[in-house]
Structure 1
């Protein structure tokens, strides 16, 4: 007879064997997993207390009974005993009991000295708990990926200022960062207020401590208090019995960035004022306040002075925030930075999508002349779109959105379309205008990439363009590309 249990056996002092066997069932009851043990015929030998809790079944109803009979009588819908005995391998399945409980079974064979299965030990776990753990793992992976992306972006900063206005702005940000003063960033949507807030944090003595961002527009009004200040155990129906820390507590010793603070409800403004005045917060449902040490950075695209006059923003909070006020100019006021930012975003999305996308000279010209009303966010989204939708390696004018072309594409001087009054001697006005019109159309075809596209942008029929070109001796077919 072969002893195949050498790898799995554990030596037990002979004087303790009886002691262990006497208390084995109690040992099983200390396990956090459910336990179901059968012999090789399928007879139920024992279950532990956790198994009863998970399945709703009682030991006196199943111990001594064969799992096959239990399945046939509907106590549970399947058993793994026969499969494990036959294959001599572990098996896993999802089981439903007659109590409406769904559990995961993980059955393992226990061998005798002849390598035959003597027992089947099945561990039982709550499927809802496993699903919850999986969701938590997925959420943690997403959070890790988010932080990796943020770290990558931070290591290769977008803001390498070229314009004098941004160089001065950065100097001001770094000076203020060394203090612990409250900062208020003003500027249009998309100018990079969140990036500047992180720049303050990284240049401050709080670097290495938490930096948390709260978008005041994205949290429902009925939840914003509990999100910012947390809540005490049992504060309201559905609340976690252990309570929950708010963003202020989680940012303790670090920086809290309140983006779009102009959207904060009046009821919350008074609570924020208390934080700024006393450095303390009180959880929803709590009776005592807590001291915190958090630096506040706020940002808004609203005119807060006007909001104060209209009664939408507290004047005392406005003056509390009005310590270090920094206005970030829109992109159209710092044109020298546009080229560097285009290069950055192109490089970023080329790396992400393994592209080698380039911008034609005319595309760069159109982008430099564009107003960028959406500022840096609009530029980032446009470059992202071009990276995923453009099949060619070079971005041409035809790939750009109509709003960008309409704003700058057709702003031509007469000389750019070949008009020179000194060379028009002997021609009547009608002929001159026909030639000017034809050259303008040629310019449109070249800029938009094709006659069809030019016709659509100029809102005329394609055959009209063809006819007008042919009238002055130009072949429309030759211009189509």
Structure 2
């Protein structure tokens, strides 16, 4: 009896509720914490079968029968009479013969944890609303950020935007680095000043210096007689976005580094030093650390750019954003093409399951193509999607990227022909020239007809 009282005292000092029953479900012991959590007194429970108590409405979840039957621990969640949300962990106790003789259930109050989760969800929704409001004020579409990864990234981005720090955006092609760069500018103190973008991979090396820094009259053959300011000069008081900065030739990297150090430069063919106030945002899909090790990118320029580094996750790592983005694009293209389409559950599931190697850009282009080519007036069905989506979603894709893209293009063009009937109309709907459509037709898989 003395030991029994000690055991009761030990159970009563525990913060978790304890409920002990035998193999037949008869209640043997409960501690004080369980009484407080459940709102039930020991006198109401001891000696009674748990299934009878459940029928009387004492509680709605009973673990004992399943634990005795399966001989394995069980877990469940329930709401008590007191309104507390509790998690139940039940464990079997065996005798020497290996038979279940007791079931011990630990009851833990998770109400506070659940409330905290709800508060965090509310805060994330509030942040998204805040970002949308800022976007409306700037006249630009809101960035879609439902996933925790993108919500956190946008929080960082809006904080960085309040400074004049150089920003380096890292991420795969198509993740939205261009949109993020514009958003930084639009929410900064420079929002009323110019924003210029220069694609470092698209400008020939022999023209890069004059495009970036400008040139004086007569600097080279074919130069404007009055000279021309470069992007750096035109972006004075504003922001210059250097897209694909990892593709800059080494000589231009040296000149850019010199400019970043003192914000001074000279036009090509001039000896006059000019000073500007411009914020630099750079972006690349390259591994700059590897490029530095390989001697393809200057380490000192890399460190100059790495004042505020923001890594944008690929779409496959933030799947919570896929359907919100798809519906956002669907709304935009519905308005553009005067349609009222929605995604069927099957189509939505396929979009959600696809890995999106082309990221947000691929998703946007696909939604536009679907709006243009879908013949239904109200829904985009799973059968309207290109085969590559259903195959990749089911894990059956085993083709090369070249074949997959060819299949995708063929399917889009075929559907467009069904809708519009002529090459001219198809080209207009898909926003490409007729030559491109002819070329795609010639490259179609042998034996297949549009």
TM-score (norm: length of structure 1): 0.53
Instruction: Identify the residue that residue 312 of structure 2 maps to in structure 1.
Output: 328
- 1:258-285 residue CA offsets vs partner (Å, 9 max, x unmatched): 0110011111001100110010121111
Q: Displacement of 1:161 after TM fit? A: 1.3
Q: 1:370 to 1:153 in 2, by over 3 A?
A: farther
> Take 1:152 and 1:171, find their aligned partners in 2: how far apart are those partners?
17
> Take 1:166 and 1:204, find their aligned partners in 2: how far apart are those partners?
19
- What aligned pairs does 1:79-118 form with structure 2 within 5 A after superposition? none
> Take 1:153 and 1:387, find their aligned partners in 2: how far apart are those partners?
28
Q: Displacement of 1:409 after TM fit? A: 3.9
Which residue of 376, 386, 403 maps to 2:388?
A: 403
Instruction: Identify the residue that residue 233 of structure 1 maps to in structure 2.
Output: 217
- What aligned pairs does 1:124-203 form with structure 2 within 5 A after superposition? 155=139, 157-203=141-187
Q: Displacement of 1:160 after TM fit? A: 3.1
Instruction: Identify the residue that residue 244 of structure 1 maps to in structure 2.
Output: 228
Instruction: Identify the residue that residue 25 of structure 2 maps to in structure 1.
Output: none
> Take 2:150 and 2:177, find their aligned partners in 1: how far apart are those partners?
13
| Counterpart contact for 2:168–2:282, Cα < 8 Å | yes
Greater gyration radius: 1
- Secondary structure at 1:205's aligned position in 2? coil
Structure 2, unpaired ranges of 5+: 1-134, 397-450
| Counterpart contact for 2:316–2:355, Cα < 8 Å | yes
Q: 1:406 to 1:171 in 2, by over 3 A?
A: same
Q: 1:215 to 1:248 in 2, by over 3 A?
A: same
Q: Displacement of 1:157 after TM fit? A: 2.4
Instruction: Identify the residue that residue 206 of structure 1 maps to in structure 2.
Output: 190
> Take 2:147 and 2:336, find their aligned partners in 1: how far apart are those partners?
28
Alignment partner of 1:374 is 2:362? no
| Counterpart contact for 2:136–2:142, Cα < 8 Å | no
Which residue of 275, 288, 304 maps to 2:272?
A: 288
- 1:148-198 residue CA offsets vs partner (Å, 9 max, x unmatched): xxx999635241311111111111111111111100000010111111111
- 1:32-53 residue CA offsets vs partner (Å, 9 max, x unmatched): xxxxxxxxxxxxxxxxxxxxxx
Alignment partner of 1:348 is 2:332? yes
Q: Displacement of 1:215 after TM fit? A: 0.9
- Secondary structure at 1:362's aligned position in 2? helix
The structure 1 segments of at least 4 consecutive aligned residues displaced by more than 2 Å after TM superposition are: 151-158
Which residue of 291, 301, 314 maps to 1:307?
A: 291
- Secondary structure at 1:214's aligned position in 2? strand
Instruction: Identify the residue that residue 219 of structure 1 maps to in structure 2.
Output: 203
| Counterpart contact for 1:191–1:330, Cα < 8 Å | yes
Q: Displacement of 1:337 after TM fit? A: 1.1
Instruction: Identify the residue that residue 452 of structure 1 maps to in structure 2.
Output: none
Q: 1:153 to 1:399 in 2, by over 3 A?
A: farther
Instruction: Identify the residue that residue 125 of structure 1 maps to in structure 2.
Output: none
Q: 1:410 to 1:395 in 2, by over 3 A?
A: farther
Q: What root-mean-square deviation, in Å, do the aligned CA atoms of Structure 1 and Structure 2 show?
A: 1.9
Q: 1:152 to 1:246 in 2, by over 3 A?
A: farther
Q: Displacement of 1:398 after TM fit? A: 2.3
TM-score (norm: length of structure 2): 0.56
Q: Displacement of 1:322 after TM fit? A: 1.1
| Counterpart contact for 1:158–1:344, Cα < 8 Å | no
Instruction: Identify the residue that residue 337 of structure 1 maps to in structure 2.
Output: 321
